[in-house]
Amino acid sequence: MSAIALIDYGAGNLTSVKKALRAIDADVFVPLEPAELEDVSGIIVPGVGHFSATRRLAGPWTETIRRVVQDGRPLLGICVGMQWLFEGSDEALDCPALGAVAGRCARLSDHNGPERLKIPHVGWNALDLLRRDAPVVEGIRSGAQVYFTHSYAAPLTVDTVAATTHGEPFAAIVQRGRVAGVQFHPEKSGDIGLQILRNFMRSVG
């Protein structure tokens, strides 16, 4: 079986993600051009920072990733990479996205009644599992703590597997077919994060 492609578009902490994947014995590489995705077993799109960075994926990268997913190979988005799975983000209104999951990402509210919340949302927070049958959360319990750092988030939809609340609930994990995404950073989330990555590897087969 061929390797997992870790997409580098200039906005992901590739070193930490690669280290986590190698800790679970995943065969991973960073492709230099879209043509290298033709024979991969799966794709991971990481990301940190501003959604506009995903603009570098527009065109051949997006077209090839969409074709690989249509062929039935799994895709995992992490943080901004998860937001890119949706139809777009208010953080960069003119920036195209993959559109594999319905909905748009929006900025987290900094109000929770009279309380003023800190944005970005940084630190450990709990997962509230909504769909326990989704393969991406096999072995994960509701209430498990994972590490977040973000200002924008995806809405709760039928594809939401787990939610987290920071002032308001948002989608922390989504899965639609073989496309999955996590708003948190599994590479910084200890054993829970490694389990999420193992689950993705199982979907690769």
Of the listed 79, 91, 105, 166, which one is catalytic? Answer: 79
pLDDT tens, residue by residue, 5-18: 999 998 877 999 99
Residue 105 bears catalytic tag: no
pLDDT of residue 179: 98
Angle at 38 between CA 57 and CA 98, to 5 degrees: 30
Residue 79 bears catalytic tag: yes
Token code pair at residue 186: 């599994």
Residue 185 bears catalytic tag: yes
Outline where the chain has alpha helix (H): 14-23, 60-70, 80-84, 190-204
Q: What is the CATH number of the domain that holds 148?
A: 3.40.50.880
Average pLDDT over residues 84-99: 97
Of the listed 105, 150, 166, 187, which one is catalytic? Answer: 187
Q: What is the pTM of this model?
A: 0.95
Partnered with residue 148 across adjacent β-strands are 123
Q: What is d(CA 79, CA 187) in angstroms, rounded to the nearest whole number?
A: 11
Domain assignment of residue 15, given as a range: 4-204
Is residue 13 within 8 A of residue 48, CB to CB? The reply is yes
Of the listed 121, 150, 166, 185, which one is catalytic? Answer: 185
Averaged pLDDT of the chain: 94
Average pLDDT over residues 37-64: 95
pLDDT tens, residue by residue, 101-159: 999 999 998 876 677 889 999 999 999 999 999 999 999 999 999 999 999 999 999 99
pLDDT of residue 22: 93
Q: Which amino acid is at 119?
A: I
Number of domains in the chain: 1
CA distances from 25 to 3, 20, 95 (A): 11, 9, 35
pLDDT of residue 184: 98
Q: What is d(CA 185, CA 78) in angstroms, rounded to the nearest whole number?
A: 6
